[in-house]
Chains A and B, each alone.
Chain A
Amino acid sequence: MNQVILEARHINKTFHDPVTVQILKDITFTVSKGEFVSMMGKSGCGKSTLLYILSTMDTDFDGDLFIDQQSVKGRNEPYLAHVRNEKIGFVFQFHYLWNEFTVLENVMLPGLKLNKYPAAEVEYQARERLRRLGIENLALKKAGQISGGEKQRAALARAMINDPLIIMGDEPTGNLDKKNSEIVFGLFKQMSQELNQTFLVVTHDPGFAEKTDRIIEMEDGRILGHNQRPLHSAKT
């Protein structure tokens, strides 16, 4: 068994506004290094809520969460920000690129924030990520001037800049047409295989989920079951 990098223990969450609704019920599961996990479920089943708890951005929950075998429950905001910066990459449905910056600068931003390597080194790494994702030629274009599929690829490059333990996705292909969806998914898969990158992706798209290593199915705030496949089945 590979090293466990994300572990949720008995996570419960309740919304109190306007009426008390328990949105997550006793969620317990783990994600190991190199896994490509997708979370599926109907709208309102709590999968996005769970993702934001796992991402440390939402701290209002009961239970415990371990990232890289360290509990993040009850940690202060700057610490969590640092955890997100160093260990978690994000790809959202919307790209959230800074339109005033070039693609390259957008990708470099979390790397510069981490401040582990000098700027020149971060730039080299960013170009390397862009090359892997096939958009190196767009590096110096403003983020506002590239297409939707390219933006999502740039967002993936940004998520990968600090070599995160896990990349989390919230409907990363939700805004894309079929062709671009496939390209972006292909890149996710490729990164998973080539770099042994761990992914945890929330999706609506059964076609997307089918091709992942494991599907976590959710309904009404509970995990219904894990649809496990042989790890990296696509490799064989």
Chain B
Amino acid sequence: MNYTLIIRIAVSLLLARWKQTLVAAIGVMFSITMFIALLGFMNGLNDLLDGLILNRTAHVRLYSETKVSEEQPINNSSEFKAMHNFVRSIKPNNSRQEIYNSQAILKALQEDDRVLGVAPKISAPLFFAAGTIEITGVINGIDPDAESRLFHFDDYITAGNSANIRTVSNSIILGKALADKLMAGIGDLIYVATPQGERFGLKVVGYFQSGIQDFDKAQSYSSLSTTQKILGKGNHYITDIQVKLKDLELAPAVAGEYHRLFQTDTEDIQTANAQFETGSFVRTLISYAVGITLLIVAGFGIYNILNMMIYEKMDSIAILKATGFSGADVNRIFILIALSIGVSGGLSGILFGFLASAGIDQIPFNTPALPTITTYPVNYDLVYYAIGLSFSLITTYLAGLFPAAKASRIDPVVIIRGK
């Protein structure tokens, strides 16, 4: 097959109707541009919103819940062995929130292949003294390095540095809203009191802003050892173990396994934050639907232009067939025209899509809720570009299919005798 000849003929047909061809290519380009810009923006937003919660949430959390023991004496009584226990007046008798045998659990977790990292944590209620008034809040004792590495803790520190709570003894990072209420500046000394009445002085070394105002009004962070000191506990005292997995999808299964293995309460991220996945899914679905709709419209444009071209070039097609071009050759010519519109539109669409994404990325976007974000978020994942290009090729191919088949069926006798 003589492809250079077929390409030359296709090019000459394209050039003969270059204005319409250009319009068709611009149609494809526009839809791919929109598709990429839309998906990049939507997914950037998705990542941001998901990150707001998901990045900071452990994939599996091990903790000790205050609850009634499942092992009640009545269950051991042989008299009631076969019966169900309806006794409702039982109260929990042990308010201990510590995870038993935490050091061994930490060690075992770190050796698990599926685990990306482990961060121990202490969570305890606390009163912050603002003059004579006490504000209720929560203190989180953390390992700042593990917390930053696994849960992007550093991203939410607006003043100071997360490592300060480790290097400065008796120091604390306050939620920005809490600090405003306490009127505590960096370097100031604040007083806190435990529910047991112990008072303690702590130095403010940083502010923390999560983007969720209620959260920032109550939370504060300190090192594990400082927190253990405040609470008057030993240096193995931990209330939570946060596990980050290599594969998020494994979380429910792993949570169940740890529950049996370590005899602690566990919670997986899917259960804790089911709504976020739904939101992301719907947003992505909408972007795809809009993108594909645009492409289909562009496809109809190509279909129209090819049809017009065939009507106009009926004579030329007839003489091609009369002088020895087969129907398959003519078919190839028109498929080639359609695909070249698709490729040029698709490639320029990718370029303009990238530029549009880069443009959106420059638009200032300041919101007090999201301290680390200064411009609109954009996702530059290559997958969207690949999908855009393949969509453009598929739609233009489909749009070219019918006109090309029509052109290949043209009967030269009908055209030539019709003159």
| A, B from the same assembly | yes
- Binding site secondary structure of chain B: helix
State in angstroms the CA–CA spacing of A232 and B399 once bound together: 55
Chain A to chain B contacts (Cβ below 8 Å), 23 pairs = A77-B326, A78-B328, A81-B321, A84-B323, A85-B324, A90-B322, A92-B322, A94-B315, A96-B316, A96-B319, A96-B416, A97-B319, A98-B12, A98-B316, A100-B16, A109-B323, A110-B324, A112-B2, A112-B5, A113-B323, A113-B325, A113-B329, A158-B323
State in angstroms the CA–CA spacing of A158 and B316 once bound together: 14
A interface residues, Cβ below 8 angstroms from B = 48, 52, 55, 57-58, 77-78, 81-82, 84-86, 90, 92-94, 96-101, 109-110, 112-115, 158, 170
Residues of A within 8 A of B26 (CB): none
B168 interfacial contact with A, CB 8 Å: no
In the complex the two chains form, is B318's CB within 8 Å of A96's CB?
A: yes
Residues of B within 8 A of A55 (CB): 322
B327 interfacial contact with A, CB 8 Å: yes
Residues of A within 8 A of B417 (CB): 48, 52
In the complex the two chains form, is A96's CB within 8 Å of B315's CB?
A: yes
Residues of B within 8 A of A99 (CB): 16
A78-B328, A113-B2 known; A57+B413 contact, CB < 8 A: yes
Residues of A within 8 A of B320 (CB): 109
In chain A, what residue has the closest Cβ to B16? A100
In the complex the two chains form, is B324's CB within 8 Å of A57's CB?
A: no
B252 interfacial contact with A, CB 8 Å: no
State in angstroms the CA–CA spacing of A18 and B416 once bound together: 21
In the complex the two chains form, is A113's CB within 8 Å of B316's CB?
A: no
In chain B, what residue has the closest Cβ to A94? B419
Residues of B within 8 A of A48 (CB): 417
| Cβ distance B86 to chain A, nearest Cβ, rounded Å | 86
State in angstroms the CA–CA spacing of A217 and B325 once bound together: 32
Residues of A within 8 A of B371 (CB): none
Across the interface, A84 reaches (CB within 8 A) one of B2, B15, B324, B328, namely: B324
State in angstroms the CA–CA spacing of A199 and B127 once bound together: 111
In the complex, which of the residues B12, B16, B323 has the most CB atoms of chain A within 10 Å of its own CB atom? B323
In the complex the two chains form, is A57's CB within 8 Å of B16's CB?
A: no
In chain B, what residue has the closest Cβ to A171? B419
- What would 12 more interface pairs be, CB under 8 Å, given A90-B322, A97-B319? A81-B324, A85-B324, A86-B324, A92-B322, A92-B416, A94-B419, A96-B316, A99-B16, A100-B12, A112-B5, A113-B5, A113-B324
State in angstroms the CA–CA spacing of A112 and B325 once bound together: 11
State in angstroms the CA–CA spacing of A85 and B329 once bound together: 13
Residues of B within 8 A of A94 (CB): 315, 416, 419
State in angstroms the CA–CA spacing of A84 and B324 once bound together: 5
B211 interfacial contact with A, CB 8 Å: no
B412 interfacial contact with A, CB 8 Å: yes
Across the interface, B2 reaches (CB within 8 A) one of A90, A98, A115, namely: A115
State in angstroms the CA–CA spacing of A2 and B328 once bound together: 37
State in angstroms the CA–CA spacing of A100 and B326 once bound together: 21
| Cβ distance A46 to chain B, nearest Cβ, rounded Å | 12
In the complex the two chains form, is B316's CB within 8 Å of A170's CB?
A: no
State in angstroms the CA–CA spacing of A57 and B324 once bound together: 10
State in angstroms the CA–CA spacing of A100 and B17 once bound together: 10
List of 7 A-B pairs having minimum Cβ-Cβ separation, nearest first: A85-B324, A81-B326, A96-B319, A78-B326, A110-B323, A115-B2, A112-B5
State in angstroms the CA–CA spacing of A55 and B412 once bound together: 11
In the complex the two chains form, is B2's CB within 8 Å of A85's CB?
A: no
